[in-house]
Chains A and B, each alone.
Chain A
Amino acid sequence: MPKRTDIRRILLIGSGPIVIGQACEFDYSGTQACKALKEDGYEVVLVNSNPATIMTDPDFADRTYVEPITPEMVERIIERERPDALLPTMGGQTALNVSVALAERGVLERHGVELIGASIEAIKKAEDREQFRQAMWKIGLEVPGSGVARTLDEANELVKRFNYPVILRPSFTLGGTGGGIAYNREEFEELVRHGLDASPTSEVLIEESVIGWKEYELEVMRDKLDNVVIICSIENLDPMGVHTGDSITVAPAQTLTDKEYQLMRDAALRIIREIGVDTGGSNIQFSVNPRNGRMYVIEMNPRVSRSSALASKATGFPIAKIAAKLAVGYTLDEIPNDITRKTPACFEPTIDYVVTKIPRFAFEKFPKADPTLTTQMKSVGEVMSIGRTFKESLHKALRSLETGSSGFERVVLQRSRVGTLHAPTDVEKDAILSWLKTPRAERIYYIAEAMRAGIDVAKIHELTGIDPWFLNNIKEIVDLEARIVEASASGGLSSELLRNAKEWGFSYEMLSALTGDDVEVLVKRGSEAGIEPVYKCVDTCAAEFEAYTPYLYSTYERPFYNITTGRSRRAECESAPTGNRKVIILGSGPNRIGQGIEFDYCCVHASFALREEGFESIMVNCNPETVSTDYDTSDRLYFEPLTFEDVMAIVERERPYGVIVQLGGQTPLKLSVPLERAGVRILGTPPDSIDIAEDRERFDGLLDRLGLKRPESGIARSIDEAVSVAGGIGYPVMVRPSYVLGGRAMEIVYDEPSLIGYMSRAVEASPEHPVLIDRFLEGAAEVDVDCISDGGVVVIGGIMEHIEEAGVHSGDSACSLPPYSLGADVLDEIRRQTRELARELGVVGLMNVQFAIKDGTVYILEVNPRASRTIPFVSKAIGRPLAKLATKLMVGRTLEELGVTEEAKPSYISVKEAVFPFIKFPGVDTLLGPEMKSTGEVMGIGMDFGRAFAKAQIAAGNTLPLEGCVFISVRDEDKAAVEGVARELKEMGFSILATKGTARYLTQRGIEAEMVYKVIEGMRPHVVDRIKSNEISMVINTSFGAKSVEDSYSIRRTSVEMGIPYFTTIAGAHAATCAIKAIKKEGLAVRTLQEYHAGEAALPGTG
């Protein structure tokens, strides 16, 4: 059945900012969908507020709206675009929820928009817990005993029928927000309250616990002729109780007999049919009782999901692309399998390797967050790895994580001098056992440690619930480790032992740690024994058919030979490097705070640019969520860890013209010096310049040479030194370890005791790295500049003025391009300094500089001669693909040739706003500081600052109020500045509630303000009571000093939990006021990125 011709224009909704539970996998799916639909001649209208996505590149959709994904805004887009159809299944829960809202409001019907991919009925049946349960019963499948409660009383009534523990899940939330496990009545009531709040429908599902059962997922696809195929089975290593997004997962399922697997498959087919997902992909989760095989259905996502991205990368079957084709009427048998070409997409992929996914967490950013893994997702990213065996794949995944792990490091036990382990003490054993009982991010290391301590697999299974199959594989690794240690102590590793270790995924770095031999020595020994990695293809079919797409992973295999053609003993390698001119792009690894989708965006652009320049593009990355790891993004894809060993092996195989390290963030950057030392050509800015920028002393020398200023600073290697340096500079000071990402462990300290406290923590954390101490420029304006250079000419990409003052990490600060308050002379000075720096550092490619401006003086805070997090935002704001241009410069083009010699000066304003995960971490303070905490970002574009900022706020989920009561409480220094804000709010009809001092200050100046108690004052109702009873619609609260910060914590926390916008800086409050005014005065209109770039946005009635 061919594609539909009765629809022409299709609206595609993205997933918005990266948040926990919804990351760049939806950029991957949306980008695939865009490409697939355009390929078939449909006109694609896209809405997504996330500028860091590839899908929002103006080249992808026909018309791209970087606008908030709210029903109101999308309705405006529908009114303007009149699409024939809406595809709601590519943008995660966000797109699904907005689509449901649009349908319920009658918008779709009113404008004749057909929902394709999944009907409202199907979405509701899958998403509404009660309807889903009924549906499962109808088709004879079991679900855990459960019920839905809408009030606490209902919940208490319901729970009487079950045994504790019970699981709570609020309806219609993503990543299990507000869910959890209750082991007793008290915990239960707390979670019910939390869950009812978190659910947009005020419903919470209460389930009998299946904690400890095995967890499986199937990825299912169906076409309109009712052909159904399973793309992939996934088995979770962590049993039920840990959110699947936080679990280590493995594909394919390992421990099901065929009889059990086929019953699960039958169930999946019945489910997708009963729920009525007519076309496209779904993800279905099952749990299985390990004692008797009894199977429960847990849930179904009637859309592409994080797991479908994983399944796509794990099998080579592009689920989102095929789902898009099915949505427009194709059937599975009409769509070719891109990888084999000769066979159709209508089949079930089979694999001949093991895929392991490990989530990446960011608890170090939120020290107060509970690191226990539960049914609410907490991870911020993930890695995937491919190996021929589980052992190899698990090892590769561990070193892909970018946590400094090169395998199963020891975490409790120490090795004695001779390399053997001492007998574990009782204290050590207890420490290990307690780690096993509670699922946490690092538990996998403690499992290995438990084995080293002699704790048997049965005991570990009992404590963790992890299937003995996985545990025994880890045990085999630990046993081999012991043999390696033993062998090296008694004369060295035999080549057979070394081969075995490499086959099981041991890295040379780990082997070096175990044997005490240098990595180079071991590598040489391996290579002399013919132990070298080979590359195998991910081909969807376990080699049954020839693969045409070079999607590769490394492994160690044994050689074979043919006696008639002579004994050339080589292991088979399928990489078949071409003789083309080629460039390797090193990707950015797992998403984490400080290094996210922005860098993947840059790498993808590099790939496109290389193709345009006639180079073969080779991508290396290990993040399954990304566009960069799509098999058709680059000419060749190596799905590999980004360690020196793994990268070098690829370089040796491919022999590229050069390697690009400056686009993937810190991960590849770390490799630049070692790679260069190994004789690899690093394209663009020389690695030495990176070193100059990172090395404090060399950097100071550079600034001196150029006559540029930076805040006074010093370096301390001890507490005493720190005290004396800080004393000399004067408090407050900014302190941080010398080599950091995303402001890791960076703090502002206001006095000596805090400094001593910080030093005792930080220096302990990294003894070999000194601590940097800078004068903190309080109240300074901060500016980010991205520029591009070909080594001669430097062109400013964009100047972004932060909304928040200095002290808030640039990744967490909102910013405006162009700047909204700085004068022309300051901007010119910033341009001049940027150019000087770029020239002096010999930048070829991108460079980012952070400036602080205080009292008219420009200070340099930081220089990064590489792509920054803001590159995608700037590229979209100015209409120039900076990463792509930079790549072309790296392979020899000049800016003049590319026609980029002048700074672009857009006529509209673009505002970037950060998005935070605070809602997922109860108990964590939401106050911003120099340590980055945001997971994602949004962009708002408007013809003036107010409207651009308003859009950015709405897109970030901060619903700015148009009426009601604003709470204001500011420190004395801010009182004068807040006066204007308060007056404007008052004029717009808001009432004002303020704490004593602020209320008095405002009232004295003729601004009526009602007084409210601080929490600390001990009188009720205090401000938090008023927030909780929904009397306050916006919060403005600045604080200073530890006590004040602590006092105001509950205000910020309650605001987050109640979903009330809050501003902790005067600048933020001012911008918000501006935005409210703009909305009230003119409303918000929608425009496409293409219109903005063409200068066509400023039409009558525009936003």
Chain B
Amino acid sequence: MVQGMKERKRAILALADGTVFEGYSLGAEGEVSGEVVFNTSMTGYQEILTDPSYRGQIVTMTYTQQGNYGLNPEDIESWRPWVEGFVVKEPSLYPSNWRYLKGGETLDEYLGRNGIVGICGIDTRALTRHIRESGAMPGVISTVDDVAENLVEKARSIPGLLGRDLVREVTCTEPYTWDEGLWNIEGGYGTGRAGVRHRVVAYDFGIKRNILRNLFSAGCDVTVVPADTPAEKVLEMDPDGIFLSNGPGDPEPVSYAQESIRKLMGRKPIFGICLGHQLLALALGAKSFKLKFGHRGGNQPVKDLTTGRVEITAQNHGFAIDMDSMKGVARLTHVNLNDNTVEGMEVREKRLFSVQYHPEAAPGPHDSSYLFERFVKMMEG
């Protein structure tokens, strides 16, 4: 029909609770399923699409105009997009940005080329409110089946995220090293740095490249290893510090990682982000739980309990660490001001700390990038 002045096929988004949104096809045609969540970032759709933490999820963007600046070869957080499906109000057919002009694609082109099924033209605000009230839930986007009942049935039959190990689906298969630094307007991603001070082994549970870029620019020589790399093997590499990355889904079933972490704790300084933080907490004996609809966006206020200052943070998680279960296990260092959930912890004696949010941003504010410096300091003793 006429949405976006382009003939688009019809598409349907059906949720497991029977809610059905009829809209138009965006990107690839076909049928996909996943947990339907929303993200409130107004910029950064390309980074979101390529963030491995979205494995298993259909992402709804709450901001209505998506694809405005196109997709460019630089703003990627991994080697491919990971979202299962993408939901937007209006995709731009005419991106405009100097970076797009350097070999970019439109949102439709990019999703199409990567086989990502999307839907547009629906009331994304109504969908967001529905998720807020009823919680994140399984859903199906289809451009091939137009019988809503079938799609709802399919949505009901797909497994939830609870208890599923999605890390295996996104982690690398072989170790690799990293040699790219942070981005700037003049030169893109830098490769130069002041000098290597520390060797870091980074567990890849679905790592975002901007974490690696931050570590690189902070003077770390990083080797990325698969999620199931045993602790012994890591210790053999004799790193100065160990990094636990972000990743998708529920931390609980990722027991092999918890086990490795338990063996590494106290031996080397450890810094964890997001899923890495949750795995570290579980390794310490805390408990995790699933949030109703998670935190996804770039405006979440987090208070640093040590300094009393507030950071505006980028977040993307559907699970969190239970505050009560942390008592006696680790010291609470950061808390979310919106809902008072755990955002950070540390065990000084064991030289380990972690945060639930994303100091590497991409997308999102840079308020918390100091944490990479803190990690470096910790490695310096």
Interface contact B43-A261, CB-CB below 8 Å = yes
Asked if A907 lies at the interface with its beta carbon under 8 angstroms from chain B, I say no
- B368 at interface, CB cutoff 8 A: no
Q: Mark A1018-1050, 1 if CB is under 8 A from B, else 0.
A: 000000000000000000000000000000000
Interface string of B314-356 (1 = CB under 8 A from A): 0000000000000000000000011000000000000000000
CA distance A476 to B122 in the complex (A): 19
> Is residue A349 within 8 Å, beta carbon to beta carbon, of the partner chain?
yes
CA distance A295 to B185 in the complex (A): 9
Q: Indicate if B53 sits at the interface (CB-CB under 8 A).
A: no
Do residues B365 and A254 form an inter-chain contact, with CB atoms below 8 A? Answer: no
Given the known A-B contacts A256-B43, A259-B183, A263-B185, are A333 and B303 also in contact in the complex, defined by CB atoms under 8 Å? Answer: yes
Do B44 and A258 touch across chains, with their CB atoms under 8 A apart?
A: yes
Q: Which residues of A contact B62 (CB under 8 A)?
A: 350, 352, 542-544
**In the bound complex, do residue B365 and residue A469 qualify as a contact, i.e. CB atoms below 8 Å apart?**
no
| Residues 102-143 of B at the A interface (beta carbon under 8 Å) | 121-129, 132
B65 within 8 A of A: yes
Q: Are B126 and A262 within 8 A (Cβ)?
A: no
User: In chain B, what residue has the closest Cβ to A340?
Assistant: B338
B residues in contact with A546, CB < 8 Å: 132
Whether B64 contacts A388 by the Cβ 8 Å rule is yes
The answer to whether B363 touches A262, judged by C-beta atoms less than 8 angstroms apart, is: yes
Contact between A346 and B125 (Cβ–Cβ < 8 Å)? no
CB distance from A809 to the nearest CB of B (A): 45
Q: What separation, in Å, do the CA atoms of A293 and B89 have in the docked complex?
A: 27
Is B68 interfacial (CB-CB < 8 Å)?
A: yes
CB distance from B160 to the nearest CB of A (A): 19
Q: From the candidates A255, A350, A500, A536, name the one contacting B69 in the complex (CB within 8 A).
A: A255
Question: Is B157 interfacial (CB-CB < 8 Å)?
Answer: no
Dominant SS among interface residues on chain B: loop
In the complex, chain A residues whose CB is within 8 Å of the CB of B96: 255, 467-469, 472
Cα–Cα, bound, A266→B185 (Å): 13
Q: Report the stretch among B19-27, B190-198, B224-232, B259-267 that lies at the interface.
A: B19-27
Bin the interface of chain B by size.
35 or more
Residue of B nearest to A345 (CB): B301
A354, B65: Cα distance in complex, Å:
8
The stretch of A146-154, A555-563, A872-880 in contact with B is: A555-563
A472 to B96 CA separation, bound complex (whole angstroms): 9
Question: B122 contacts which chain A residues (CB < 8 A)?
Answer: 558, 560
> A572: nearest residue on chain B (CB-CB)?
B126
Does B378 lie at the interface of the complex (its beta carbon under 8 Å from any beta carbon of A)?
Answer: no
A-facing mask of B86-100, CB < 8 A → 1, else 0?
A: 000110111111110
Cβ of B364 under 8 Å from chain A: yes
B363, A258: Cβ atoms under 8 Å?
yes
Beta-carbon contact of B185 and A294 below 8 Å = yes
Determine the chain A residues whose CB is within 8 A of the CB of B90 once the complex forms: 388-389
Count of A interface residues, CB-CB < 8 Å: 74
Contact A469 B310 (CB under 8 A): no
The answer to whether B125 and A291 have CB atoms under 8 Å apart is: no
Provided the pairs A257-B69, A389-B65, A543-B129 are in contact, do residues A497 and B2 lie with their beta carbons within 8 angstroms? yes
Of the residues A266, A469, A558, contact of B123 by C-beta under 8 Å: A558
A545 B338 Cβ-Cβ under 8 A:
yes
Q: Which residue of B lies closest to A250 (CB)?
A: B65
Is there an interface contact between A572 and B310, defined as CB atoms closer than 8 Å?
no
Report B201 CB to chain A, min CB distance, Å.
28
Least distance between B75 CB and chain A CB atoms (Å):
6
Assembled-state Cα–Cα distance A558/B13 (Å): 13
In the complex the two chains form, is A226's CB within 8 Å of B309's CB? yes
> Is A829 part of the contact surface with B, judged by Cβ < 8 Å?
no
Return chain B residues, CB-CB under 8 Å to A263.
184-185
Known: A258-B363, A479-B5. A292 touches B128 (CB 8 A): no
B78 contacts the other chain (Cβ, under 8 Å)? no
Counting chain B CB atoms within 10 Å of each CB, which of A350, A389, A473 scores highest?
Answer: A350
A469 touches B68 (CB 8 A): yes
| Cα-based distance from A536 to B124 in the complex (angstroms) | 12
What residues of B have a CB within 8 angstroms of the CB of A564 in the complex? 17-18
Q: Which residues of A contact B381 (CB under 8 A)?
A: none
Within 8 A of B (CB), among A244-264: 252-263
What sequence of 0s and 1s flags, for each residue 332-354 of chain A, a beta carbon within 8 Å of any chain B beta carbon?
Answer: 11000000001110111111111
Residues of A contacting B64 in the complex (Cβ-Cβ under 8 angstroms): 352-354, 388-389
A746 adjacent to chain B (CB < 8 Å):
no
- Chain A residues, Cβ within 8 Å of B74: 259
Report the Cα distance A260→B188, complex, angstroms: 11
Report the minimal beta-carbon distance from A380 to chain B, rounded to whole angstroms: 30
Say whether A351 contacts B18, CB under 8 Å: no
Q: Are B300 and A259 interface neighbours, CB within 8 A?
A: no
Does any Cβ of B come within 8 Å of A225's Cβ?
Answer: yes
Q: How far is the CA of A254 from the CA of B95 in the complex (A)?
A: 10
**Cβ of B95 and Cβ of A469 under 8 Å apart?**
yes
12 contacts between A and B (CB under 8 A): A227-B309, A253-B43, A257-B97, A292-B98, A293-B98, A343-B301, A352-B125, A476-B93, A479-B5, A500-B1, A541-B40, A563-B20
What are the 4 A-B residue pairs with the smallest beta carbon separation, nearest first?
A258-B44, A472-B94, A258-B363, A469-B96
Given contacts A257-B44, A560-B126, A563-B149, 9 further A-B contacts (CB under 8 A): A230-B312, A253-B43, A257-B43, A258-B46, A352-B125, A354-B65, A469-B96, A472-B93, A472-B94
